[in-house]
Structure 1
């Protein structure tokens, strides 16, 4: 589902020099699943907490522009804009599900949980856009509910997310319950 462009691949290559666990993706990759298309490229580079500052500094040393160390998301999102792309260095949640660990590509389950938890960061709050995205993700792709459940619990939001998914009626309610 997620395809990395040249810029994302370069960010993975640089971040891997410092961090073992890397996840890189752009919000524009979700355009096929939403009504309101994203024109700006918000790129998220997620690494373990101890590597965030070093990865951020390395991006600056490599002359990447518009790079932000995400410590105060609300401030960043209210003050960032006007460029074709912005790069956010964020903390990667431990044991986050990745589709391709080597390339640092997140799974769709991870993205759904993260969008539900931090939607305002990505510009997709708990709005019709988020509902549309989740509905389309479930109808277009094979979503592993077990992976979704495990990661959402790790993020501490499975109860709310499962109620939201149940409200969307994209899967039978019993599928969302523990086996």
Structure 2
């Protein structure tokens, strides 16, 4: 604020906030704490992958080499939450044409797996299973990343999925979702344009834009 005022003593606070926001989005500066910034882009997000996930992913890619597959566990969201849920899902996301084949492959290996379960099925059955696996659709052009040969989620994808799938991410809704978004933006470099493109693929772009404004990420008071 002092820097901008030194250049223009009549500059409005809202104008300063918007300029800072644009500098953050362009990677010129990074927020390190409330009201404090540093030059350069922020820290990249990399979710943890268990040995079981890595092993299973490699088996799936061996069996289905031409399918796009993304694997992750919802426990990675705990990093951003105030209230830590004790129930997690292993998610295997795959192209539509491969969902059933992948599901039966896992089922034949006696893995507790569910194929794109409905909210009712999740409430009545999935939530009672220890360490369940869920096979779900990998939306085209989903923002994923590759870590040591394993395709997994980006933080942009996690946030949009939480926003779009309340029934699957029920523990991350309401004020907890606000906390997750704010904490994620504070700790890591996030591409909002990537989030909005993905939200558009999920037909939720307008709703996400409104939500981001409501929690003051777009024009946060610095």
Give the TM-score of the pair, scaled to structure 1. 0.88
Question: What is the number of residues matched between the two proteins?
Answer: 171
Partner of 2:72: 25
**Partner secondary structure for residue 92 of structure 2:** strand
1:125 Cα deviation from its structure 2 partner: 5.2
Whether 2:141 is the aligned partner of 1:95: answer: yes
Q: Is the 8 A contact 2:91 2:135 kept in 1?
A: yes
Q: Is the 8 A contact 1:118 1:125 kept in 2?
A: no
Map 1:153-164 → 2, pairs under 5 A: 153-164=200-211
Give the alignment partner of residue 169 of structure 2, picking from 99, 118, 122.
122
Map 1:43-54 → 2, pairs under 5 A: 43-54=90-101
* Distance in 1 (alpha carbons) for counterparts of 2:152 and 2:70: 6
Please say which structure displays the higher CA radius of gyration: 2
Q: Is the 8 A contact 1:28 1:37 kept in 2?
A: no
Partner of 1:133: 180
Structure 1: gaps of 5 or more residues: 174-179
Q: Is the 8 A contact 2:73 2:88 kept in 1?
A: yes
* Distance in 1 (alpha carbons) for counterparts of 2:158 and 2:87: 18
Q: Is the 8 A contact 2:96 2:138 kept in 1?
A: yes
Whether 2:101 is the aligned partner of 1:73: answer: no
Runs ≥4 residues deviating over 4 A: none
Structure 2: gaps of 5 or more residues: 1-45
Aligned-CA RMSD value: 1.7
Give the alignment partner of residue 102 of structure 2, picking from 55, 67, 73.
55
* Distance in 2 (alpha carbons) for counterparts of 1:139 and 1:27: 20
Once the two structures are superposed, residues 4-58 of structure 1 have per-residue CA deviations (whole angstroms, 9 ceiling, x without a partner) of: 1122212312322225211111111110101121222311100001101111111
* Distance in 2 (alpha carbons) for counterparts of 1:170 and 1:124: 22
* Distance in 2 (alpha carbons) for counterparts of 1:158 and 1:82: 33
Q: Is the 8 A contact 2:100 2:115 kept in 1?
A: yes
**Partner secondary structure for residue 119 of structure 1:** coil
* Distance in 2 (alpha carbons) for counterparts of 1:123 and 1:9: 26
Give the TM-score of the pair, scaled to structure 2. 0.72
Q: Is the 8 A contact 2:85 2:171 kept in 1?
A: no
**Partner secondary structure for residue 168 of structure 2:** helix
